[in-house]
Structures are given as C-alpha cells and as structure tokens.
Amino acid sequence: AIDSNFEANRERVGEEDGVAVWGPVEPPEKQGIRGTHVAVDFDICLADGACLEDCPVDVFEWTDTPGHPESERKANPADEDQCIDCMLCVDVCPVDAIDVDPG
C-alpha cells in the first residue's frame, strides 16, 4: 500500500502537469508518488481504473508510463484541488495505491 507518511519519508523531486512528484523516480521502473492532497503511488497502481470511474469530481486522468512493470498507464491526480474528501477512490482501489489527506 501507499505510505501515508510519504511527505516525511520521501523527497519532493519536482512537479509534472501541476502535480508534485515524490521520489525516487528512475523511469521507466520507478515512477514515484504523484500528488499531495490526493496522492497516487505510481509504482503500485496497476491501472484498474476504478478511481477514474468513481471520483465524483473527476480528479484523475490517465497518464502514460511506458515500460513500467505494473502497468503502462497510471491515474494521475491532476485536479486534486477539486477533491471533496469523499474517500471513494481510497476505498475502491484494489491495491491501495491512493492516499487522501483531508487535513
């Protein structure tokens, strides 16, 4: 499962499409965690798609990760600012790749 303390345990290595990137990032095998309020561990996500289907405010969009061992696309929390903390995505992800911090 995603480390819910990633902000303390990982280094913020940059930003992509307005979404924070938390390392380590070594493409294509290591893609890191994306997002802060809504965070997705790209190295755990296997492109199930339930989060994209179920999020009531369409926070997620697909982003391509060619060559990644789990899946060649990931759910990027591109519109995490829109999140209403319903926790649906956290509940439906089969591999617990998502952390939402209502703080």
3-state secondary structure of 22: strand
Residues 6+ apart with CB under 8 A from 91: none
**Given the complex with ligand SF4, which of 1 and 84 has the nearer CB atom?**
84
Residues numbered 20 to 59 that lie near ligand SF4 (CB under 6 A) are 38, 55-57, 59
Residue of 29, 87, 95, 96 that binds ligand SF4 (CB under 6 A) = 87
83 binds ligand SF4 (CB under 6 A): yes
Query: Please, is 47 exposed, middle or buried when counting C-beta atoms within 10 Å of its C-beta (0-12, 13-18, 19+)?
Result: middle
Of the candidates 38, 30, 49, the one whose C-alpha atom is nearest the C-alpha of residue 4 is: 38
**Given the complex with ligand SF4, which of 1 and 28 has the nearer CB atom?**
1
Query: Please, is 27 exposed, middle or buried when counting C-beta atoms within 10 Å of its C-beta (0-12, 13-18, 19+)?
Result: exposed
13 binds ligand SF4 (CB under 6 A): no
100 binds, among ligand SF4, ligand F3S, none (CB under 5 to 8 A by kind): ligand SF4
Number of residues that bind ligand SF4 (CB under 6 A): 13
Site for ligand SF4, rule CB under 6 A: 38, 55-57, 59, 83-89, 100
